[in-house]
Structure 1
Amino acid sequence: MIKIRKDDGPFEDRPRRDAGQGAPDNTPRYDNDRPQRDEKRGPRKFDKRGPKRGGRDFFGRRPEAPPVDDDAPSKSEVVTGHRYNDIADIDDQILGLLEKRAFLIRKEGAWRKSRQKSLVDPQLEKLLRGAFDRSAGRLGLDAKLTKQLFTLLNQFSLADARKKFEGEGYKLAPRVEPVSAGIAGPRSFRFTRMMLAMAASAGARATLSPVTMNAPNKDLAKALKQVGAPIHWDDDFIRNDGGRTLEFEGNMAFVGEDKFNFYMLLCLALGHAGRCKFTGKPSLQLLDAASLNKVLPSLGARVVPMNPNNPGLPVRLECGGAMDESVTLPGGIDPDFAAALTLAAWSFPGGLTVKGLTAQARDRVAEAVAVLTACGIKAELGKDSVSVSDGVPAIDPQPQLPLSVPLNAMLLALPVLSGGRINLEGAWPRNEQADRVLEQLRALGLRVDVATENVVAVMENELPESADIPLGASPDLMPLALALALKVGDARLSGADNDVAVELLDRMGASYEIDGDVIHLKPGNPQWDGTWFSPEPVWSMGCALAAFAVPGIVLENHGEVTATWPEFWNFYNSLPTGKMKPKPEREKKDDTRRRIKIR
């Protein structure tokens, strides 16, 4: 039985209105508005004609009104406090039970792994699911939601265990001084992966460099190698030797945890008749793979989940039917799938026209169109559609990789936050998203000069007293947009449906109003308190920028940024000069040494 504790919560330091003043816990508490009961004489009754003497006492004096406490909580606040205490206590117990459940299943998986068996026992899962459904039925809970909940509960045992946070965290308190720095900007991770997929599918030789070998890039390289691509990589490059194309028939590819990798391989396989399988990490087991079947039948294919209890991976792809030359995407389709389908369309007979692109999907598709154009494939992007012709890609042996817009936009914004100038080495991409970033930064007083191989940003003008910041409409740019809005103070920020942004504003105690899809941030003095677990590395970087306006933000998981962009914290901590510590050199083996045997 779950016990509910009611003596804690946000109002535990305030007396409750129903509490007897000075009465011990074991004595009855009375309410002055109700008849009181005497143990010997029975209930006391009120005079129905009302109080005598007009409420005066024996001497004709009116009783003094009780003092009014302006700081006392209102009745609604008291009720909210009670509800918070009750529900928060139940949530705490649920999470504790969830941790125990995950531990037991993880322990079972370790035992099975030691005997070379699969981590999950199918018979045990079947019995647990049956018991779960029966209990949910007795409680009258929604059948569909409870099935999803059971699947989600199992993910906690398969996912990496989150380390308990201990210590003070990583405090962000940068020096607000004019920057004078230069850095080789990180190349676009998505462009890199799309170019690698193009080279592998076309059987072309290509070397991609410089490359940040993070998990998404490495996972795609491994997956392409599993389906026949001759790929090799090191710390800063990926090379496809060419000479042979991809072979999907009868193969299984492990795509890691990035859904865009899965979508690219899936769409590239549509041009190959046969069956193949895709699997990945636990996070992709909850992917809504069935939604893809709203589009795939028009392309002569379908996906079938291999585990009926999971909506996502692993899945089996069956393809080889007649393919339409035009498809219309439903409204809820993933924008990443639209980009992957566009990228693979050159390999379909007669090409493909994709209609029904949303604003977010159009940004993703624009990246794919840039890659196709660089490979000599004709692709035309319209307002809500894209048309790709079939053909043979012509891939440069050493293609130029453009800068990443979301990551390098944060570097370009540093002079806006602290003044000064910055020089980024690399080619700034030419697309609508990149143009919107430059337009926004220039509106805040930044001068940006874009050259062929570098970008220079200098803060020449004063920061405006108020500003409109529409960059928040793009989820990739919302962390940057929030940091800029906090620096301006009086700002109207697009993207009010972003829960992470609203959560951070609440944690800072910022004053704001939400009107439709706009957050109107008002001038004030936001202050940070406590620690925060960032949901994504890009949000950790956004907090690093926001700390120029709200110093003292403390992150619990700042190390995840290093896995995505290894140089970020080194560069950030070296500001305003940006002179980073040199990388430790890898120890080289001395091949000249010989072992001499002494007799």
Structure 2
Amino acid sequence: MIKIRKEDGPLEDRPRRDAEGVSDESPRNGADRPRRDDRRPPRKFDKRGPGRGPRRDNRDFFGRRPEPPVQDDDGPSKAEIVTGQRCNDIAEIDDQILGLLEKRAFLIRKEGAWRKSRQKSLVDPQLEKLLRAAFDRSAGRLGLDAKLTKQLFTLLNQFSLADARKKFEGEGYKLAPRVEPISAGLKGPRSFRYTRMLLAMAASSGASATLSPVTMNAPNKDLAKALKQVDAPIHWDDDFIRNDGGRTLEFEGKMVFVGEDKFNFYMLLCLALGHAGRCKFTGKPSLQLLDAASLNKVLPSLGARLVPMNPNNPGLPVRLECGGAMDESVTLPGNVDPDFAAALTLAAWSFPGGLTIKGLTREARDRVAESVAVLKACSIKADLAKDSVSVSDGVPVIEAQPQLPLSVPLNAMLLALPALSGGRINVEGAWPRNEQADRVLDQLKALGLRIDVATENIVATMEGELPASADIPLGASPDLMPMALALALKVGDARLSGADNDVAVELLDRMGASYEIDGDVIALKPGRPGWEGTWFSPDPLWSMGCALAAFAVPGIVLENHGEVTATWPEFWNFYNSLPTGKMKPKPEREQKDDTRRRIKIR
């Protein structure tokens, strides 16, 4: 509280004192003496208003104001600079995480190698239990989501079980084809899925059949091995698979190794539903993350249930228990894998009274249509509607040497070559008759190709020029997206369906292509996309799609082109021989001379 003495008089009559306790009338504040505000350094921001002392305006010693900075319209904005800094910070953390992940996988893989040398399982259950407990404690201390951390722990273990990715060294496989009119022909690869479905039908019905020509890649060979584990009399060589027949499949008490293809697992699972009892399925690490729990939304209606054998893994290994009453109709939930819908359709003939499957999505319907084609070829009645399919029970009738149709995704890439470089191509084999195959031909015709379909071959010829702009809806099918993207890049001004395809968007960004996303459509704009660096393809189909895209964007470099050879051995040989398509002959297998004898000289 401020006390005022009576002798000081009224407040308004007293002289004002400043903060230093000096009166305004004091001689210390005379005109011949500078004010205190003039003597002290100016503030950075003076809020007292004009006329109350000098303001700091960044003038130099001579009183000149600095020139304003030049604005670069083409330079990065402040938001872009901040985003770049955040990206660098987060990328540095990610690099550290991946380095630790590699060390963790190495240690667990080392432990697995030691256990394998002692004839034990690769995974130590006690070690995994201790690691999970420590992982959960750390996650709880940090406040991380329990469900996500559980999934993360399972994923971390997969890195130690999966095949180690080889460190990329070298220049990669550069794709720079000659853009000249082609004049080529070859035997097209047969449908891998049709081959496997027909093999499963022959083995489950006990029919004798020889499938040829067959590409003996991993999915075909894995299914043949799995069927042999459930008593199918199957034999194979480089270009054929034969089922001797005479006996059907036996699942009771069996442990079946299905490899790494989920469609193989689904087919064997659905074929086992018609057999009462218990059996187990296991596979490679990629199937250990399969969402097996979603199948239990359907299996109880078919008198069965699926039980995970490892509570820490959502997928394989699993135990199937079946033999209960089966409904004549089931409705699939929207999140069920389309491959499971196709496998269930294929096996429905073996259920009492058949089966009606409802709730098919668009992608599931395409898969089911392939199964329906196989059933009809085996004299099983199957009716496919808009969102449902009905299959009657019966006994399959399979030819001794059935005809295998061409693979739509693989041979569609061959038929698209004339649209990319001009010319003509002749593909030997029977073009399938289904909705997906018809959509491919309609798309190629819309781009200016003439398609001639015969019983044992199909010919595509480029007539005229590509249109100035085009709509390419084939991208809505994941199997056809690689080819659709290559066609869109060649056209330039194109509307490509399938905007939710992350791989396609990644490739467009890598190429520097100009595009906009409108709903589920990618609108490409004319430009000059290019390529720098190397790329690890997630799938052989995408590697082949890049081979087609190189006709529009030359110089694409792949790190893992060898995976295509494992899927389709002749592809690179044919691709590199364009425009003639005359491939180098296959090396002949050395014939053993049984007449020779080894003589031991003493």
Q: Same fold (TM over 0.5)?
A: yes
- Equivalent position SS for 1:161: coil
List aligned pairs for 1:464-475, cutoff 5 A. Answer: 464-475=467-478
Instruction: Give the partner amino acid of 1:429.
Output: P
Cα separation, 1, equivalents of 2:239 and 2:41: 89
Query: Paired residue for 2:529, among 526, 530, 534?
Result: 526
Where do residues 373-522 of structure 1 align in structure 2 (5 Å cutoff)?
373-522=376-525
Structure 1 residues 88-127: aligned runs within 5 Å = 88-127=91-130
1:328-368 Cα deviation digits (max 9, x unpaired): 00000000000000000000000000000000000000000
Matched, 1:563 2:566: yes
Query: Secondary structure of 1:493's match?
Result: strand
Q: Which runs of 4+ in 1 moved over 6 A?
A: 53-62
Take 1:73 and 1:415, find their aligned partners in 2: how far apart are those partners? 42
Report the secondary structure of 2:510's partner residue. helix
Give 1:17-56 correspondences, 5 Å limit. Answer: 46-50=45-49
- Whether contact under 8 Å (1:53, 1:60) holds in the other structure is no
Distance 2:366 2:41 in 1: 78
How much has 1:480 moved relative to structure 2? 0.3
Q: 2-side partners of 1:441 and 1:381: how far apart?
A: 26
Contact 2:482 / 2:545 at 8 angstroms: preserved in 1? Answer: yes
Cross-structure match for 2:327: 324
Amino acid in the other structure paired with 2:242: R
User: Hey, what does 1:66 align to over in structure 2?
Assistant: 68
Counterpart of 1:241 in structure 2: which amino acid?
Answer: D
The 5-angstrom pairing of residues 187-586 of structure 1 reads 187-586=190-589
CA contact (8 A) 2:405 2:431 kept: yes
Q: 1:125 to 1:455 in 2, by over 3 A?
A: same
Distance 2:598 2:63 in 1: 111
Distance in 2 between residues matched to 1:151 and 1:110, nearest whole Å? 20
Task: Tell me the distance in 2 between the aligned counterparts of 1:65 and 1:496.
Answer: 48
CA distance in 2, matches of 1:378, 1:323: 19
How far did residue 81 of structure 1 move? 1.7
CA pair 418-299 structure 1, distance change in 2 beyond 3 A = same
Could you say which residue in structure 1 is the equivalent of 2:7? none
Alpha-carbon offset, residue 42 of structure 1: 10
2:68 counterpart letter in structure 1: P
Say if 1:58 and 1:469 are closer, same or farther in 2 by CA, change over 3 A: closer
How many pairs are equivalent?
559
Q: CA deviation at 1:66?
A: 2.1
Instruction: Specify whether residues 54 and 539 from structure 1 end up closer, same or farther in structure 2 by C-alpha distance, changes over 3 A only.
Output: same
Q: Distance in 1 between matches of 2:558 and 2:44?
A: 62
Structure 2 counterpart of 1:148: 151
Q: Which structure 1 segments of 5+ residues have no match?
A: 1-40
Measured in 2, the distance between the counterparts of 1:223 and 1:234 equals: 16
**Within 5 A, what are the aligned runs for 1:69-80?**
69-70=71-72, 72-80=75-83
* Contact persistence 1:137–1:143 (CA under 8 A): yes
Letter in 2 for 1:67: P
Q: Per the alignment, in what secondary structure is the counterpart of residue 148 of structure 1?
A: helix
Question: 1:212 and 1:53, CA in 2 relative to 1: closer, same or farther beyond 3 A?
Answer: same
Distance 2:601 2:125 in 1: 60
Between 1:335-344 and 1:50-59, the stretch displaced more is 50-59
| Structure index of larger Rg | 2
- Deviation of residue 555 (structure 1)? 0.1
Normalised TM-score (structure 1) = 0.91
Give the distance between the partners of 1:435 and 1:73, measured in 2 at CA.
48
Take 2:476 and 2:506, find their aligned partners in 1: how far apart are those partners?
17
Match of 1:29 in 2: none
Q: What is the CA-CA distance between 1:46 and the residue it aligns to?
A: 3.8
1:86 aligned to 2:89?
A: yes
CA distance in 2, matches of 1:47, 1:376: 93
CA RMSD after TM alignment: 1.7
Measured after TM superposition, the shift of residue 491 of structure 1 is 0.1
- The DSSP-based 3-state class of the residue aligned with 1:476 is coil
**Could you tell me whether the CA contact under 8 Å between 1:105 and 1:157 is conserved in 2?**
yes
Residues 120 and 523 of structure 1, relative CA distance in 2, 3 Å threshold: same
One-letter amino acid of the counterpart of residue 83, structure 1: R
> Deviation digits for residues 362-395 of structure 1, max 9, x if unmatched?
0000000000000000000000000000000001
Which AA in structure 2 matches 1:344?
A
CA contact (8 A) 2:43 2:55 kept: no
Alpha-carbon separation, structure 2, partners of 1:69 and 1:193: 65
Partner SS state of residue 475, structure 1? coil
Q: Does the 8 A contact of 1:473 with 1:495 survive in 2?
A: yes
In structure 1, give the amino acid aligned to 2:281: F
Residues in 1 aligned to 2:78 and 2:598: alpha-carbon distance in whole angstroms: 85
Closer, same or farther: CA 44–53 of 1 in aligned 2, 3 Å: closer
Give the superposition deviation at 1:592. 1.1
Matched with 2:36 is none
Give the whole-Å Cα distance in 2 for the aligned partners of 1:384 and 1:288: 23
Note the C-alpha offset of 1:72: 4.8
Q: Distance in 1 between matches of 2:69 and 2:375?
A: 77
